Every structure is written in structure tokens, then in C-alpha cells.
Amino acid sequence: MSLTSDFQLGIFAFFSVVAMASAIFIVRARNVFYSAIALAFLGVSVAILIADISPEAYSIYSAFHLLLYVGATVVFLSISLVMFKGIDVKEGRIPWSGPLSVIATAVIFIVILVTVGNLPSISPKTVDLQSLAVEILQGYWFPAIILVIGLLTTVIEAISLARRE
Amino acid sequence: MKVLVSYFGVTLAVILLGIGIFGLTNSKNVIRILLSSEVILNASILFVFSLSSVLGRTYLPIVFSIFAVGMALTEVVVAFAAIILYFRQKGSLEVD
């Protein structure tokens, strides 16, 4: 294993731990405002992990994830939560939720192992911004229009919320 | 090496999914439920990229995830509007 590979694996291990710690904090913190802050750390960790998986192919999406997900969604959540008073969360008393999540995780993991365990490995191609834009505009123009309409709805709703209608 | 990182990514995505399911089923607070669904969204995006890296898919996971994150932003705003209305009517964020 080369030095670059060790470095890549080290970064992946570090941010995997950060992602898991953030996710646990999100579901266990008493104040949901801190959970929203932890969601930002989870978003940053996932963006770095995606870039680490294949830097030449997926780093464009990694930047997009940081800008749109962490920069917009999580900041919106965090700022909106300031509007609420007394948002401490009562401890959950649902006894079957722990075993359910463990069983669901185990089943999904086994299904994935069986399904993709023996697939041949092919490296993804290098992606630049121009080719990605051409791919979206030529191959996926209809979902792009739907997304634009959805984001316009978001703007209208944000104005409506701000005016307390 | 790249395959190793990809399979670690798949494993991490499944672990994050489990944590998200736990948060979704263990809490009665609507904001916590929304945040847990965001954990599941992050897990699914990581899973898509990890698996696509093994399969050699380049554009499909990027386009899919761009649309998914854009729609997630819309969904969060709509869900938050619903939560504010719920809070005004009930005076609490706990679900029955």
C-alpha cells in the first residue's frame, strides 16, 4: 500500500468516526439545536468521505454537498430552531426501537453483501463541470425543471413563513 | 485500495442508516424525527456513491444526488412550515 493510499484510508477512517459520532449525537442530544449543529458536522464528513472515495470523479458533488446541503439546509434548520423556546427533548421510552434498528441494519447489510459482494470493480471516469452540465441538461432536463419548481416553492414558502401568514 | 474504501463506505452507510432508524423510532419530538430522516438521507447518498464507485458509474450518482439534495432542501422547508403550524396549534413539539 502506497503513502497516498495510507493517507486516503486514514482520512476515510477519521471522518467515518466523526460521521458516526455526529449521527449518534443527533439522535441522543437533549437539545435539538445542538442536534442540528451536529447535522452540519455529519454533512461535512459525508462530503469529505464522498470526495475520498474517488477524488477525480466525485469531488464536484462533494463541493455541491457542502454548498447546498450544509450551507443551505442545515443552516436553515439551525436558524429556524432558534425560533422555538424550550426545545429540550424528553428521553425516548420505546423499548423496541433499539432491537428494531439493529435487526434492520443487519438484514440490510447481509442483503448488500449477498447482492454486491462479488461484483467486478470498474473505476469511474474523471468528471469536469462542463460535461456534468451537458449531462444534466441533455439527459435529465425534466427532473431539473421539477427541481427548479420545487426550489421556487421553497422561496415562496420562506417568504410566507417570514410574513407569518 | 479504492475498492476497500468503497466497501468501507457501504458499511458506514449501513451503520448510519441504523442510527437514523433508531432516532426515527425512539423519539416523539417532531424535529428529532426530521433530523433523523436527514441522517438517513446522508447514509443513502454515501451508499449510492460507494456502490457507484465499485460499479464504475460516474454521472448517475452525481445527478441522482444533486436532485435528491435539492428535493431534501424543499422537503425540510415544507416540513418545518408544518412543524411551526403544529407548534402553534398544540403548543408542543411532541407527537402522540
R_g (Cα) of chain B, nearest Å? 16
Q: What is the pLDDT along chain A (165 residues), one digit of tens a residue?
A: 455 678 888 999 999 999 999 999 999 888 888 888 999 999 999 999 999 988 888 888 999 899 888 888 888 888 877 777 666 666 666 778 788 888 888 888 888 888 877 777 777 778 888 888 888 888 888 988 998 998 888 888 878 777 765
Cβ within 8 Å of A, B 50-79: 50-59, 61-63, 65-67, 69-74, 76-78
Q: Is B32 an interface residue toward A (CB < 8 Å)? A: yes
A97 lies in some domain: no
In a domain, A105, yes or no: no
Residue A132's domain comprises 3-86+128-162
The total number of structural domains that make up chain A: 1
Residue A138 lies in a domain: yes
Among B26, B45, B93, the residue with its CB nearest the CB of A87 is B93
Question: What ipTM was estimated for this complex?
Answer: 0.91
A147 neighbourhood in chain B, CB within 8 Å: 67, 70-71
Chain B residue whose CA is closest to A24: B19
In a domain, A61, yes or no: yes
The pLDDT tens digits for B75-92 are 888 888 888 888 878 877
Residue A53 burial by Cβ neighbours in a 10 Å radius (0-12, 13-18, 19+): buried
Site of grid cell 426545545: A87
Chain B residue whose CA is closest to A83: B84
Fold classification of B1-90 is: Helix Hairpins (1.10.287)
pTM score, whole prediction = 0.88
- Inside any domain, residue A75: yes
Residue to test with chain A: of B15, B74, B75, B93, most A Cβ within 10 A:
B74
Question: What are the structural domain ranges in chain B?
Answer: 1-90
Whether B2 and A23 lie within 8 Å, measured CB to CB:
no
C-beta atoms of B51 and A122 within 8 A? no
Residue A72 lies inside a defined structural domain of this protein: yes
Of the candidates B45, B46, B56, the beta carbon closest to that of A122 is on B56
